[in-house]
Amino acid sequence: MTIQDSDRFIKRLKRGNGFILLEVLVAMSLIMGSWMAATHAYQELTLVLQQQERKRSQLRREFDIYEIESIKNDVTRVSSRNHHLHSSAKPVAKGKRSLGS
């Protein structure tokens, strides 16, 4: 390598064709910060969902206990969880008698 070649090489480096280390570090920190913020938001939403599911489960257990106690006290009462709604879209078959008549 001659002196002229090394001068050209130095001039080419001074032109700034690539990224400098500071730019790379700033870009990496922005990407990492965004990633950490997204991960934190996801974890927070997951925690809230788990808490809501636990609360819903607890309320359902309490309601079941209350309903069982109510059924024990009133023999004519039917559990609302076992009560099925009949669809009004189906026509009533002719010639069949209902149970109540």
Matching residue, tokens 């002719």:
94
Quick one: what percent of the chain has pLDDT higher than 90?
43
Q: Do 67 and 79 touch, CB atoms closer than 8 A? A: yes
pLDDT digits (tens, 9 = 90+) for 41-89: 999 999 999 999 999 999 999 999 998 888 887 766 555 655 555 555 5
Neighbours of 71 (CB within 10 A): 13
Domain ranges of the chain: 41-74
- Count CA within 13 A, CB hemisphere, residue 80: 7
| pTM check: above 0.75 | no
Contact by Cβ (8 Å): 77, 71: yes
Cα distances from 80 to residues 17, 24, 49, 52, in angstroms, run 74, 64, 27, 23
